[in-house]
Amino acid sequence: AQKITQTQPGMFVQEKEAVTLDCTYDTSDPSYGLFWYKQPSSGEMIFLIYQGSYDQQNATEGRYSLNFQKARKSANLVISASQLGDSAMYFCAMRPTVPGYQKVTFGTGTKLQVIP
């Protein structure tokens, strides 16, 4: 069975500072992908970043980077130079990359508030 744990229900960060949102996971699948989504107050789910379990390097997308530590089963999202528009819910998710049905498992989310 898969499980995603986000232990920070809420976080505050000062504008222009960096922030790390924690995500740990548990799976028995040998190959999987890890995702982060952003959900602003308007409700839509915005894809941010993807990390494959066999990728050699940590994924980066602009101000977003994924700190992937496979041995620790963690996939933390790092947002650099926070902006007011980064205030949102953030969800970590995981999906096996094996044939057949690959269930996507989501964490319960972290609400990030950026302070001016």
Partner 1 sequence: DADVTQTPRNRITKTGKRIMLECSQTKGHDRMYWYRQDPGLGLRLIYYSFDVKDINKGEISDGYSVSRQAQAKFSLSLESAIPNQTALYFCATSEQTGQVYFGEGSWLTVV
The residue assigned the tokens 């094996």 is: 98
Residue in the structure block whose two tokens are 């530590």:
69
Q: In the stretch 3-32, what mask flags binding to partner 1 with x, by CB under 8 A?
A: ------x-----------------------
Residue with structure tokens 């040998």?
30
Q: How far apart are CA 106 and CA 53, in angstroms?
A: 17
Q: List, as one string, the DSSP characters of 47-73.
A: EEEEEETT-SS--EETTEEEEEETTTT
Kindly identify the residues of this chain, within the stretch 71-110, that bind partner 1 according to CB under 8 A.
91, 93, 95, 97, 99, 101-104, 106-109
Nearest approach, Cβ of 104 to partner 1 (angstroms)? 5
Binding site for partner 1 (CB under 8 A): 9, 33, 35, 37, 43-45, 47, 50, 91, 93, 95, 97, 99, 101-104, 106-109
